[in-house]
Structure 1
Amino acid sequence: MPQAVSLQSRLIRTSLFSSMVAGVLALLLFVGVSLYQTMQVQDQLMNEIADMLLISDVTTSSGQQVDELSDEFDIQYQLKDQQQVLTASKDFHLEEQSSKIKNNVSEGYDFLWQDLQLWRMYRAEDAELNMSVLVLQPLGERFKDLAQNVMGYALVLVLLWLTQWLILHFAVKRQFKVIHQLSKNIAEKNANDLTPIQQQVPELKELQPIVWQLNQMLQRLKQSLVAEQRFTADASHELRSPLSAIQMRLQVLKRKYPDLTQDLVSIQNDVNRGTQVLENLLLLARLDPTNTRQLPKTEIDLQVIVKDVVQALQPFATKKSIQIQTQLSPHLAILANEKLIFSCIRNLMDNAIRYVGQNGHVFINVQHQHQKLTMTIEDDGQGVTEEVLRRLGERFYRALGTKTQGSGLGLSICQKIIELHAAEMHFSQSSHGGLKVELQFPVNIHR
C-alpha cells in the first residue's frame, strides 16, 4: 500500500518553494543589475582618472586627487610621453608589460589576465601632446562590496523564508480545521445516523462538490438499508410462519402417536434449532460489526458450550465412526453471546465432521494462551491447499472436488460472529493432515 501524503504539508512546501524560486530569481536579477551598474560606474571612474592625467598638471592638486582615487578603488595607472614614463601609481607593477600592452591593445576598455587574476584595463591617447595613459584595476576589487550586498540580501531572503514557513504552517493548519471537522463528521456517521453532512462555516468552495457527493451517497445508503430492513422483516415473517406450523403439527402428532414421542422430540429439537439459527441470522443482518456494544452478552463457559455442541453432533459423528477428542482447560469463561458462539462452534465442528473421512478424528483444544483464550478445531481429513486457505470465509465459497453438501455460508457466518466479539479466527493446515481453525478470544471483554 503506497504511503499517504499530507496535503497540508504539500501546500506548505509548494507555497514556500514558489516563494523561494521568486526570491532566487529576484536575487539573480539584483546581481545582474548590480554587476552592470558597478561596471558602468567603475569604468566611468577609470575614464575620469585617464582624462585627469592627460589634461591636468599631475604636480598640482589634481595629481593628489588622482592618487586618492587610485588608493580608494585599487586603481593603477601609468602616464607616458612616447617611451618615457611621466608618472605612475606607486603600486604599478606591469612596467615590463606596458609596452607590450600598448602595441597589442587599442584605445578603450578591455580585459587582461595577469598575475593569476582578471584585470579591467582602459587605454587612452592624446595625439597632440603625444601622450598615452594606461589605467588598470583588478576585477575582483569591483565586486567586494557587491558580494557583501548579495550575502546580506541572501541572508534577508533566508530569514523571510523561515518567517513565511512559520506563517504558512499556522495559517494552513488553521484553514485545515474545516477539513478535519468534516472528516470527524463523516467518521461519526453510522447505520443509525445517515443524515446529510453540514459543512462547517466558513464553507470552502472546493469542498462543496465532495460534501454534495457524500450526502448523495448517504441518501442512497439510507434507502438501501431501509430496503434491507424491510426484506429482513418480510423474510423473518415468512420463515417463522412455516416453522411455527411445523411445531404445532409436532405437538398434535405427539399426542396422537405416543409411541413416536422420542423421534418427534428429536425432530422438534431440530426445528427449534432451525428457528434459533434463523433468529441468529436475522440478528447478524441487523448488527453493525464496528459496534460490538449492540450485541447482548453474558458470561459463558466455553467448556459447557463445547460439550453441548459435541452432544448435538455426536449422531453425525457416530454415523461416520468419527472420534471427537477434546482437551479442555478449566475456567474458560468469556463475555459473549451464548447463542451465537454456540452456532459458530457448531458450524466449525460440523464442517470438520463433513470433510473428514470414514473412521476419522476431530480434535478440539481450548486453553489460556498469552492473555487470550485459544480454541483450535482440527481434523485428519484431506490436506488443504494455500489457495483454498486464502478463500475460506468467503460467502458461498466451497472447495472444488469435495462431495459434501453445503451452502458455503457456514464459515462466513462464523467470521462475522467472531468479528462481533472482537476476536480472531485463523485458518491453517493441521499437523494431523486436514484443516486447523484457531479462535482467539480476549480474556477481558467488556460489555
Structure 2
Amino acid sequence: MIGAFLLIGVTSYFSAYHEAEEIYDAQLAHFARVLHALTEHEIEEGDILARTIGTDGNLPYHAYEKNFAYRVWLDDGIILHTANSTDFGPATQRIGYADRMINEEQWRFFVLRDENVTIEVAERYAIRQDLIAHILGGIFLPQLLILPVLGLVIWFGVAYGVRPLEVLSRVIREREPHDLAPIEAPVIPREVTPLLDAINDLMRRTSDLLEHEKQFSNYAAHELRTPLAAIRTQLQVALRTEDPDKARQLFRDTLPATERLQKLVEQLLTFVRLQRSDAAFERLDFSALCNAAMRDDAPAAIKARRHLSGDIAPGIFLLGNADMLRAMLRNLIDNALKYTDPGGNAHVTLYAQDNVIRLSVCDDGIGIAPAQRDKLFDSFYRAAAHHAEGSGLGLAIVKWVAEAHHATIEISEGQDSKGTCFTILFHPAPADRQ
C-alpha cells in the first residue's frame, strides 16, 4: 500500500508540474502580447517615455510581484522595464521560450519581437515549484496523517476476517486421519463457504473411495480364500493317502483350482493396474486389435468346444490405449465363451456408423435377466443361475475401460432372442476417423 501511495505521489507530482508549466507559459505569452499591444499604442500616440515599474512605494504591491519581470525594447533601447530586471543584461536573442540563469536563479523567458519592438517577459522557476509543493502538500499531507490509522484499521479488519479460517484450519489439523465426516465449522464468511463445501465434497468422495477399496479388499480376500482352501484340502488328503495312484489323482484334481486361482489373481492384478495407471492414449488400428484378440482367444474357444467368429470392418482407427482395449476385448470374449453351452457360438462385430464406432460381442447362451443387468458391472458380482465359474471382475474391467475411453455400454438380447449381446459405443474425435 505504501508503494502504491508513493507511486501515486510521484505520478501526481509530474502531472501537476506539467500542468503548471503549461499554465505559466501561457500566462507569459499572454502578458507579452498585452505589452506589445500597449507599446504599439504608445508608439502611435508618440508618447514614448522610458520608465521603470515597481519603484513607487505608494502603489499597492504584492509579494509575488518580485517573481515576475519584463522589459520592452525599442530598437536597441529599453523604454519600459520592471525594477527587478536590471540584472538581466543584454536582450534575449531567442524568440519564444528560453531558460536563463540570472544571479544563480533560473528564470523562464518569453520573447516576442515585431519589427523594432522586442518584448521580454520573465518569471522565476521557483514560483512554479512553490505552487506545486503547496498543491501536493494540501492533497497528500492529510493522507500521510491518516495512512497509519488506515493501516491499523485494515490490519484489525484482516485479522478479524481470517479468524474463522484459523478456527477452520485448527479443526482440520486436529482431526484423526480416518475421520472423513463433513467438517462442522463455526460461522464463516460467505466468501469462504464454497471452499468449505469443496473440502466436504472431497472428504465425501474420499470416504466413498476408501469404502469401495475396503469392500474390494474384503471380496478379494474371500474369493482367494475359497480356491486356496480347496487346494489345501486336496493336498492334505493326498499327503495322508498311502495309495500312489490315488495321491496322483488328488494332485491332478488340484489343477482346476490352481487355474481358477491363477485366473483370479490375473484379473485382480489387471483391475488394479488399469485403475492406477496413467495410461497414454494414441491413435491405433482398432480393427487389427480386434482381430488379434480373436486369434488369441481361438485356442480357448476350441478347448471349450465353442465357436468363435467375427465380422470386423477394416480400417477403423481409434484414439485409445492398446493395453486397456485388449483387456476389455479379452474379458468380453471370455465372458461370451464362458456363459455359452458347448457347441454354442460367440460372435464379435466391429463397424462404424453415423460417426460412432460400435463393438459388439454376442453369444447364444442362456442370457441375463433384465433385473440383473444393472449390477453386472459391480466388482465380484456374478449373475444368479449361471453355473460358470469366474472372478466377477471381468465386466467391472470392461466398464472401467469404456469409461476411460468415454464410451457407453448397451446390453441386449442376442440373435433370435438368445443369449446376451454387449455393445460398446465409441465416439471418436473427427481426427480419429478414417
Shorter-chain TM-score tier:
0.3 to 0.5
TM-score, normalised with respect to structure 1: 0.39
